[in-house]
Structure 1
Amino acid sequence: MTLQQLQAFMEARKGGSFTAAARSLGLTQPSVSELVRRLEDELGMELFRRAGRGLVSTLAGDELAPFAEQALAAADQGVTAVRALRDLEGGTATFGLLRNAEFYALSELALRFHRRHPSVRVRLVGQNSTETAAAVQRGEIEAGMVTLPVDHEGLAVTPLVRDEVVYITADAGRAATPRTIADVATAPMILYDAHYGDTDPARRQLATRARLSGVSIEPLIEVEHLASALTLVQAGVGDTLACRAAVASATFPVGLHVARFAEPMYDTIALVTRRGHALSPATRELARFAQQTLFDHARGPHGTTTVIARTDARRAADEHVRLLAESRSMPISRTRVRGDSRS
């Protein structure tokens, strides 16, 4: 039993003849007659009887009609739903963001996307790249922007831009020269994203460098948010690190000094999706918006990031895998003080 057979049956019942049904469906009269005949053969009962020059539904036809109508209506509704997704007149876009999204204008993503596609529902999640990557892996969201490295099992990772990570201190003397990992190990460090601890991408990079240099990093204080860490740095309690975009933002505190790392350190921002899973039209478009937002930031007058060329994307992805493997072998030591944690 096919939808075309049901359509032929319903149109013949409505028009009272195969000729009328053929005209409605844009088919020939013999084609409609053959469709109904095959349906009758499958059911083992006649659906019409002749009455003069026309057709009259049999009892079997009367029994079939409401179910045929429901099946055809359901098919039409399915086609409408799919076309709505294709044309972005409906559906839901699910996407994850990294912790520092606001510094790259990604916090405006929902507003810009809604203005372009007001009928699409949007669900944005994520506080940390670790959380975003895990949500994509579990299928809770379709895609997201993350800072590498993250656990990538089952994920397709596409590096997009990178931003330098710098050392921040209230002590001008400590900012006078590039900072080594040994300097970090001996300084009173204030690290944020306390909830994620050793799985945070920045800490994983620090752990790799510490292991290779034979030192360990024991932060004096852990807090949850960068703003809290910067307040403590401004008070002279200790030092921290952050991306260039954060330093360039209007919210960065005055009076702080910035130094580069002796071995430059970068946040690599990447798009992650579930490997082997196609994105829905709505999420695919939202991902395109997010990528374009990052590229616009990089090329803008206040941009701090560098776009990763397609030819360099493979190298960046390989570097991500190396960092991840090395960081697992030596986590940063836990803290003596924890603060600003979330409930």
Structure 2
Amino acid sequence: MEFRNLRAFVEVVRQSGFTAAARALNSTQSAVSKSVRQIEDEIGAPLLDRLAHGPRLTEAGEIVYRRALRLLAERDDLTAELDALRGLKRGVLRLGLPQLGSGVVFAPLFTRFRQLYPEIEIRLIEHGSARLEEILRMGDIDFAASLMPIAEDFEWIEVRREPMMALLPRQHPLAARSKLKITDLRDSPFILFESGFALNRIIIGACRRSGFEPKIVARSSQIDFIVELANAGLGVAFLPDMLDERRPAGGPVGIALDEPETDWRLALVWRRGAYLSDAARAWLALLQQAHKA
């Protein structure tokens, strides 16, 4: 079973289609389709239900996809480790960061890293935490920033902890409060981030522990837009305290959420037992040093 075919199959699943997978691989749709067919011929079973709305994994496809992720990641580790043994310096640090809070947390570290290692290129991708963890498992990045708790297949270091703030319009009946319980907001509509953002998990989890499901009236990936929606009275939004400055003058009121397990806790994670390049180890050392300071 060729790695090239496995990569094509994984990309079809990740991109939810052959056309998008071909673009991601700089290939053609027919070549990607042929690669998937070759795997199916080799194992004697279909991997995808092509009649579904978008390719859907069969039972055999689930097994092959899970194993393919591990095999491709191990191959990348092998290549990197052998390059280091030969004295080859890639000089690339691959980081996956969420859109929420990354600038505040990591920008000073980027500056310091560039001062220490000016020849190392930093490659960044931005997604929600759930998507970043999937990319990390594939070995396409060295580290990802994600909200705690962290899955057992990752190692991690916590880099920031912030209380959660509820954003309410100034005319809201609860706007004068200094703290809020999640149950105080039971009857208020919620404005959340898009589904890939782990912050949603914190808020929805708090609601469910208190015995209710929130009424979600809007979702967005744009912080400023969410703040404006809250200010317009559409519903209550949530941000970590360090982003409170994103509230404009005369904008919504930020009130601390006095609720267990709702702190915004950001960690840098990497695959447990994975080989780390020289650049990755240098970044981790800098982060650990900053964390201890």
> TM-score higher than 0.5 here?
yes
CA deviation vs aligned residue, 1:136-178 (integer Å, no higher than 9, x gap): 111111112222235x252123334311111111135313332
State the distance in 1 between where 2:288 and 2:104 align. 11
2:270 is the alignment partner of 1:283: no
Structure 1 or 2, whichever has the larger Rg, is: 1
State the distance in 2 between where 1:79 and 1:157 align. 25
TM alignment of 1:165-244, pairs within 5 A: 165-171=164-170, 173-177=173-177, 178-192=179-193, 194-196=194-196, 200-244=197-241
Contact 1:106-1:294 within 8 A present in 2 as well: no
Q: Which amino acid is the alignment partner of residue 136 of structure 1? A: L
State the distance in 2 between where 1:263 and 1:138 align. 35
Farther off after superposition, 215-224 or 178-187? 178-187
Q: 1:282 to 1:217 in 2, by over 3 A?
A: same
Contact 2:84-2:277 within 8 A present in 1 as well: no
Q: Aligned-residue CA RMSD in angstroms?
A: 2.7
- Structure 2 equivalent of residue 149 of structure 1: 149
Q: 1:236 to 1:293 in 2, by over 3 A?
A: farther
2:149 is the alignment partner of 1:158: no
Q: Which amino acid is the alignment partner of residue 92 of structure 1? A: V
Q: 1:114 to 1:157 in 2, by over 3 A?
A: closer
Contact 2:206-2:259 within 8 A present in 1 as well: no
TM-score (structure 1 length as normaliser): 0.54
Q: Which amino acid is the alignment partner of residue 138 of structure 1? A: M
- Structure 1, unaligned runs of 5 or more: 1-77, 297-343
State the distance in 2 between where 1:229 and 1:295 align. 34
- Structure 2 equivalent of residue 118 of structure 1: 118
Instruction: Report sequence identity in percent.
Output: 22
Aligned with 2:249 (options 251, 254, 264): 254
Contact 2:161-2:266 within 8 A present in 1 as well: yes
Q: 1:190 to 1:102 in 2, by over 3 A?
A: same
TM alignment of 1:30-179, pairs within 5 A: 82-83=86-87, 85=89, 90-149=90-149, 152-171=151-170, 173-177=173-177, 178-179=179-180
Q: 1:269 to 1:93 in 2, by over 3 A?
A: same
Contact 2:101-2:243 within 8 A present in 1 as well: no
Q: 1:101 to 1:288 in 2, by over 3 A?
A: farther
SS at match of 2:158: strand
1:187 deviates by 0.8
- Structure 2 equivalent of residue 273 of structure 1: 270
CA deviation vs aligned residue, 1:199-229 (integer Å, no higher than 9, x gap): x322212222222221111211111211110
State the distance in 2 between where 1:159 and 1:102 align. 13
Contact 2:190-2:218 within 8 A present in 1 as well: yes
SS at match of 1:186: coil
State the distance in 2 between where 1:183 and 1:201 align. 22
Contact 1:146-1:270 within 8 A present in 2 as well: yes
State the distance in 2 between where 1:146 and 1:80 align. 28
Contact 2:163-2:241 within 8 A present in 1 as well: yes
Aligned length: 208
SS at match of 2:264: strand
CA deviation vs aligned residue, 1:264-303 (integer Å, no higher than 9, x gap): 520111121111113111012123344556677xxxxxxx
State the distance in 2 between where 1:139 and 1:121 align. 18
Q: 1:124 to 1:293 in 2, by over 3 A?
A: farther
State the distance in 1 between where 2:292 and 2:189 align. 35
Contact 2:136-2:143 within 8 A present in 1 as well: yes
Contact 2:157-2:269 within 8 A present in 1 as well: yes
State the distance in 2 between where 1:191 and 1:210 align. 13
- Structure 1 equivalent of residue 55 of structure 2: none
TM-score (structure 2 length as normaliser): 0.62
